Amino acid sequence: MGDEWMKVCDKAIHFYAEEQGWRVITQNADFKVEDQIKQLRYFVELGVDGIIWSPVDAKATAAIAEWCKEQGVPTVTYNTDVDTPAVAINVRFGSYEAAQKLAYEVIAYLEETYGKAEGVVISVQGDAANDADRERAEGYKDVFAQYPDITFIEYFTKSDAATAQRNVFAAIQQYGRPVAIVAQNDLNARGAMTALERAGMLVPRGEEGHVFIAYIGAAPEYIELIRQGYADRGLVQPNLFYGPLAMHFLTVILEQGEDALPPIGSVVPAEDLQITGGVHEGVAPWAEQVWAPATVEEAYGHRWFKVQGMLVTPENLDDPSIWGNAAKLWLK
């Protein structure tokens, strides 16, 4: 809960629950497996009807998920997932597909600007041991590998901005000015842009020598960088919908049973499932169903409600569905 993304995600949960008349108790595991296990046990002992949660570790939290189910308390995961069929359904977007979508935005830019996809593309990614980080890295790589005139350079920085800066600066010294940089998250993107600035290569969009920047996310400061022309694309998870969707499915389980959940192999359009609500602290977070359509796939032996990501461009920077815009009002 230490970062803006999760704080906004949690506020959306509480706003939606308040509208529905549900009581929600939040605890923060601070990325510690032991703390999360204790918290889930506490919730069960407290007598909650169900639990929505973002697992800290897919394998280390499997046993506690199974224990919760044994105690008759259903759990629904969002944002991250857990390796057990004990969870009824998971809500998150596809990291691999998100990276691919951004990579193709880079390709379109290169073809429009230079006539073909060529040049040095630097990729700064998170932790190779993390499933989601690895999926994002592979999504980028699999697209750029299709273009023989692109020199693709990849670094894993464990999402440390200083490491990203060092890696990108070293790549610039070796390979020269890149045509594009893609990143796993905001920290990597910021480190990369600092390296460009240090090398005298941070040029705004529309001017000669501009380096196309794309990353998964759209923090408030990054939205402003797109506005100023130094960054070009973001792709956001619909995290304002993650908690409300998870709570919706939890109530389906409680009232009708797991068999009433959408089956694996199905597609759920916005017409079949609406998350709606009013204005909260200046934001109408669920005015547009940007999560839809969702496909229902299998992951870890349970349903994965795979939602859409939303592309952030210079044209839609002020859309309230972008979590960074909600953060400006909700976290001030």
Token pair listed for 108: 């379109």
Asked whether residue 320 is assigned to any structural domain, the reply reads no
**Reported confidence tier of residue 138, pLDDT bands at 50, 70, 90:** very high
- The 10s digit of each residue's pLDDT in 225-280 is 999 999 999 999 999 999 999 999 999 999 999 999 999 999 999 999 999 999 99
pLDDT at residue 332 in the model: 84
* Burial (CB count within 10 angstroms: exposed 0-12, middle 13-18, buried 19+), residue 135: middle
Percent of the residues in the chain that have a pLDDT greater than 90, as a whole number: 91
* pLDDT tens-place string over residues 158-190: 989 999 999 999 999 999 999 999 999 888 999
Residue 132: per-residue pLDDT: 83
Last residue of a domain, one of 236, 265, 281: 236
Note whether 253 and 172 are same-domain residues: no
Q: What are phi and psi of 254, to 5 degrees?
A: -65, -35
Are 212 and 124 in the same domain?
A: yes
Q: Classify residue 100: in a domain, yes or no.
A: yes
Tell me how far CA of residue 33 lies from CA of 5, 25, 71, in angstroms.
Answer: 20, 19, 20
- Give the position of tokens 């400061």: 221
The answer as to whether 326 is a domain residue is: no
Given 189, 205, 236, the domain boundary residue is 236
Q: Which residues, other chains included, contact 34 with Cβ-Cβ below 8 Å and sequence gap of 6+?
A: none
Residue 209 scores a pLDDT above 90: yes
Whether 22 and 140 share a structural domain: no
Per-residue confidence (pLDDT) for residue 1, from 0 to 100: 66
| Domain end position, chosen among 184, 204, 236 | 236
Using pLDDT thresholds of 50, 70 and 90, give the confidence band for residue 139: very high
Q: Are the CB atoms for 52 and 75 separated by under 8 Å?
A: yes
Instruction: Using alpha carbons only, give the angle 93, 97, 99 rounded to the nearest 5 degrees.
Output: 105
* pLDDT band per the 50, 70, 90 thresholds, residue 320: confident
Task: Mark whether 161 and 229 lie in a shared domain.
Answer: yes
Residues 6+ apart with CB under 8 A from 77: 52, 53, 54, 55, 87, 89, 90, 91, 92, 246
Pair (82, 148) in one structural domain? no
In a domain, 327, yes or no: no
Pair (162, 230) in one structural domain: yes
Residues 61 and 145 in one domain: no
**Residue 251 within a domain:** yes
- Domain residues for the domain of 119 are 95-236
The count of domains in the chain is 2
53 and 19 part of one domain: yes
Tell me, yes or no, whether 332 lies in a domain: no
pLDDT value of residue 266: 98
Within this chain, do residues 141 and 163 fall inside the same structural domain, yes or no?
Answer: yes
Asked whether the bond before 55 is cis by omega within 30 degrees of 0, the reply is: no
Residue 229 within a domain: yes
Same domain, residue pair 133 and 114: yes
Q: Which two tokens stand for residue 135?
A: 């999926």
199 and 113: one domain? yes
The CATH number covering residue 195 comes to 3.40.50.2300
Is 254 domain-assigned?
yes
pLDDT score, position 198: 97
- Kindly state whether residues 177 and 286 are assigned to the same domain: no
Instruction: Round the average pLDDT of the chain to a whole number and report it.
Output: 95
Q: In the chain, where does DSSP find H-type helix?
A: 4-20, 33-46, 62-70, 95-114, 131-144, 161-175, 186-198, 220-228, 239-256, 323-330
pLDDT at res. 186: 87
- Whether the per-residue pLDDT at 118 is higher than 70: the answer is yes
φ and ψ at residue 262, rounded to 5 degrees:
-60, 135
